[in-house]
């Protein structure tokens, strides 16, 4: 998904904020959920190879700077007096420098990935936290030394960079130079990078450690917060209400700190955006996603206008099923009456996912098996572990790792399918493009994951013979889609308002709660009656802290996949080959180029409605079932 944050944001289907309690962990152990083995990266924080790699990378960074800095500067600024003593580079020499730069960056990526993954699996362990911070500081120091390279590349003449000797690097140089208008002086860029470890990154770490250690009171027991979130899916409404109150109490008890973290990071972003000249708080994210502002605006507008025909309709329907005039926020994820969810052991869940990918494309099935048959997945729900789920690409010379908290629910099987899609995408792009060109913009990074979920859902639906169970599967899929499209768009609208208001001063807990409740009422509709305690729920969402404005990528990906999947159903012949080619492109192609072979165009406003119509159609089907006594 993304390489930079210490913990990658959770999938939209994840409802928890921390890892599971001992009781849940024991249940997960009985389900057979595995832990990963990071030995393909390093054996331990004390691994001599890790120390040797850092020492080697330090030498290589120093040699790289000595060999290329002055000559690159002479190439970028030939008229400068200091450039007269140095021979400018040829395009072929720059291509050589780019290969060396990629090798060093991949080495740093390997070390950094190990520290990030170790911390994600042991978030509350102080020694692991210190190790991760130490590695972050070392990697940042070396990155500062290399910073001259990308800064100088952005000062090179565009025509000079188009030389055939640099053809293999044109996509990466194109994406690097998209930030050229917002680049600051070299000294300022170095300073911002150096202080990031004690600035933004430190606040993110504080948030992660706070959430991982947070507990709630349930039935006289002190349990990790995730136990309370899991109880929000209980069939007993009283237990759901109890869990919601416990979550609210825990979040409210930490509001001072969580509000402070949010205000500080929003101000930090506003300062940086102002220095660089970004016109809107979301502009830097859109640039990183290689997507135009108007495309994102079209997506958000389309979803916002669709709230009444999607979420408002569905939750009105759900209220009738539950026999309620109005829903409370703890009813949003309530199971439907008559539906008893059985626990799915890990072995069964992994085979469901394996078979779904295998049926779509044997090559992707083989890639999925590499994850499922090797210790590349940390799925056991244990205390002190990072929340939610993610896929970390690490580096092409190793392989991605997946993390989730598997507790045997159908939703967990879908989460496995989601992260598996990321992992397969990362392998295909890494092998085809190498370290620098494999990273995919977030808007497209969610394509493979959501498509994998759709494949798994469809395989389950096709295999289910019981009409009642099929309807429950359909309802569950609709809820997941609403969580991905409607809820994530509402998150985006919350962030937009928060960042805009933060420019005028700090926001209080009360104001943050008002904004949160406002977007929830608008997005979920009149079927809900939100109690005041729900106003604190904004504060557990990790996306707001880890990666501002990340969330719209989920809605982008889901709508895109709905449109893509409709093409697959209409024209299955040859689709898998085109799809694999799309994933292998990594970051070398933009959304227009990637979607063109499928006859799709995300810049067309009708594109988004095509994706939203899929959800609308599923809701219509359920309404018809209700009319016949469901």
Model pLDDT, residue 296: 92
What pLDDT digit, counting tens, does each position of 299-318 carry? 999 999 999 999 999 999 99
What pLDDT digit, counting tens, does each position of 192-201 carry? 989 998 899 9
Model pLDDT, residue 629: 58
Average pLDDT on 469-489 reads 91
Model pLDDT, residue 24: 47
Tokens 């135009």 sit at which residue? 292
* More confidently predicted of 172 and 27: 172
Average pLDDT on 128-138 reads 95
Model pLDDT, residue 534: 96
Tokens 């990078």 sit at which residue? 193
Model pLDDT, residue 32: 87
d(CA 384, CA 125): 7
Q: Which of 110-124, 268-282, 297-311, 456-470 has the lowest mean pLDDT?
A: 456-470
- CA-CA distances (angstroms) from residue 111 to 104, 116, 134, 400? 11, 9, 11, 14
- Tally Cβ neighbours within 10 Å of residue 466: 9
d(CA 201, CA 208): 11
Angle made by CA atoms 566, 567, 570, in degrees to the nearest 5: 85
- Is residue 222 scored above 50 in pLDDT? yes
- Is residue 84 scored above 80 in pLDDT? no
Domains in the chain, CATH or no CATH each: 26-177 (1.20.140)
Average pLDDT on 161-178 reads 94
- Is residue 15 scored above 50 in pLDDT? no
Average pLDDT on 140-161 reads 93
Average pLDDT on 587-604 reads 89
Predicted confidence band at 85 (pLDDT cuts at 50, 70, 90)?
Answer: confident
Model pLDDT, residue 304: 97
CB-count exposure of residue 126 (10 Å: 0-12, 13-18, 19+)? exposed
* More confidently predicted of 607 and 394: 394
Model pLDDT, residue 100: 98
> Taking a C-beta distance cutoff of 8 angstroms, is the pair 87, 71 a contact?
yes
- Is residue 1 scored above 70 in pLDDT? no
Predicted confidence band at 27 (pLDDT cuts at 50, 70, 90)?
Answer: low
Q: How many CA atoms lie within 13 A of 12 on its CB side?
A: 28
Three-state SS at 391: strand
Average pLDDT on 582-604 reads 90
- Is residue 345 scored above 90 in pLDDT? yes
d(CA 254, CA 588): 43
Predicted confidence band at 136 (pLDDT cuts at 50, 70, 90)?
Answer: very high
* More confidently predicted of 373 and 335: 373
Model pLDDT, residue 625: 74
- Is residue 92 scored above 90 in pLDDT? yes
Predicted confidence band at 79 (pLDDT cuts at 50, 70, 90)?
Answer: confident
- Tally Cβ neighbours within 10 Å of residue 340: 7
Phi, psi of 380 (to 5 degrees): -65, 135
Q: What is the DSSP string of 136-189?
A: HHHHHHHHHHHHHHHHHHTTS-HHHHT-GGGGGGHHHHHHHHTTGGG---HHHH
Three-state SS at 484: helix
d(CA 124, CA 71): 47
What pLDDT digit, counting tens, does each position of 383-426 carry? 888 878 999 999 999 999 999 999 888 889 999 999 999 999 99
Provide the percentage of residues in the chain whose pLDDT is more than 90.
73
Model pLDDT, residue 292: 86
> Taking a C-beta distance cutoff of 8 angstroms, is the pair 392, 117 a contact?
yes
What pLDDT digit, counting tens, does each position of 275-292 carry? 999 999 999 999 988 888
- Report DSSP state, residue 334: P
Contacts by residues 23-28 (CB-CB < 8 Å, ≥ 24 positions apart) = 23/223, 23/227, 24/226, 24/227, 24/230, 24/381, 24/407, 25/380, 25/381, 25/382, 25/383, 27/343, 27/381, 27/407, 27/408, 28/379, 28/380, 28/381, 28/382, 28/405, 28/406, 28/407, 28/408
Model pLDDT, residue 463: 85
- Is residue 465 scored above 50 in pLDDT? yes
Average pLDDT on 527-556 reads 94
Model pLDDT, residue 5: 31
Model pLDDT, residue 12: 52
Which residues on neighbouring strands pair with residue 327, listed in sequence order? 528
- Report DSSP state, residue 327: B
- Is residue 21 scored above 70 in pLDDT? no
Predicted confidence band at 30 (pLDDT cuts at 50, 70, 90)?
Answer: low
Cβ-Cβ contacts under 8 Å for 426 (sequence gap 6 or more): 391, 393, 400, 438
């Amino acid at each position: 998904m993304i390489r930079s944050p210490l913990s990658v944001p959770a999938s939209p289907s994840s409802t928890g904020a921390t890892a599971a309690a001992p009781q849940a962990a024991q249940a997960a152990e009985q389900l057979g959920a595995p832990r990963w083995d990071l030995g393909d990266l390093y054996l331990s924080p004390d691994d001599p190879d890790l120390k040797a790699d850092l020492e080697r990378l330090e030498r290589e960074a120093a040699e790289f700077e000595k060999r290329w800095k002055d000559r690159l500067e002479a190439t970028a600024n030939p008229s400068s007096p200091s450039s007269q003593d140095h021979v400018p580079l040829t395009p072929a020499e720059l291509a050589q420098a780019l290969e060396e730069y990629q090798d060093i960056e991949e080495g740093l990526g390997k070390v950094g990935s190990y520290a990030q993954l170790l911390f994600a699996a042991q978030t509350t362990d102080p020694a692991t936290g210190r190790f991760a911070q130490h590695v972050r500081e070392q990697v940042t120091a070396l990155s500062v030394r290399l910073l001259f390279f990308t800064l100088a590349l952005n000062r090179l003449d565009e025509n000079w960079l188009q030389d055939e000797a640099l053809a293999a690097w044109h996509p990466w140089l194109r994406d690097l130079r998209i930030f050229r208008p917002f680049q600051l002086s070299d000294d300022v860029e170095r300073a911002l990078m150096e202080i990031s470890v004690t600035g933004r990154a430190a606040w993110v770490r504080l948030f992660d450690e706070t959430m991982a250690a947070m507990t709630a009171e349930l039935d006289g027991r002190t349990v990790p917060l995730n136990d309370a979130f899991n109880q929000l899916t209980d069939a007993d409404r009283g237990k759901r209400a109890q869990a919601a109150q416990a979550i609210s109490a825990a979040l409210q008890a930490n509001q001072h700190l969580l509000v402070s973290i949010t205000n500080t990071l929003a101000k930090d972003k506003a300062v940086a955006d102002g220095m660089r000249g970004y016109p809107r708080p979301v502009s830097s994210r859109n640039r990183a996603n290689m997507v135009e502002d108007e495309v994102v605006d079209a997506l958000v507008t389309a979803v916002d206008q669709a709230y009444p025909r999607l979420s408002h309709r569905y939750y009105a329907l759900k209220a009738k099923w539950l026999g309620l005039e109005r829903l409370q926020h703890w009813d949003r994820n309530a199971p439907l009456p008559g539906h008893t969810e059985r626990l799915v052991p890990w072995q069964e869940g992994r085979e469901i996912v394996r078979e779904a990918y295998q049926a779509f494309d044997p090559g992707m099935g083989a890639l999925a098996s590499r994850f499922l048959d090797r210790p590349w997945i940390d799925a056991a729900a244990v205390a002190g572990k990072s929340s939610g789920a993610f896929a970390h690409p690490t580096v092409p010379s190793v392989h991605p790792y997946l993390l989730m908290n598997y507790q045997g629910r159908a939703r967990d099987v879908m989460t496995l399918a989601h992260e598996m899609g990321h992992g397969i995408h990362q392998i295909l792009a890494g092998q085809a493009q190498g370290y620098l060109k494999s990273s995919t913009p977030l808007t497209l990074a969610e394509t493979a994951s959501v498509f994998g979920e759709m494949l798994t859902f469809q395989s389950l639906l096709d295999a289910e013979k019981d009409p009642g169970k099929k309807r429950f599967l359909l309802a569950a899929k609709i809820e997941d889609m609403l969580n991905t499209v409607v809820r994530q768009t509402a998150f985006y609208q919350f962030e937009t308002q928060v960042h805009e208001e933060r420019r005028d001063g700090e926001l209080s807990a009360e104001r943050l709660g008002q904004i949160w409740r406002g977007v929830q009422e608008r997005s979920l509709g009149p079927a809900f009656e939100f109690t005041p305690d729900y106003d604190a729920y904004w504060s557990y969402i990790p996306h707001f802290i880890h990666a501002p404005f990340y969330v719209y990528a989920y809605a982008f990906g889901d709508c895109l996949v709905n449109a893509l999947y409709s093409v697959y159903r209409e024209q299955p012949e040859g689709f898998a080959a085109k799809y694999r080619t799309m994933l292998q492109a990594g970051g070398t192609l933009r959304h227009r180029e990637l979607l063109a072979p499928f006859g799709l165009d995300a810049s067309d406003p009708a594109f988004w409605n095509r994706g939203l119509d899929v959800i609308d159609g599923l809701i219509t089907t359920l309404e018809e079932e209700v009319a016949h006594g469901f």
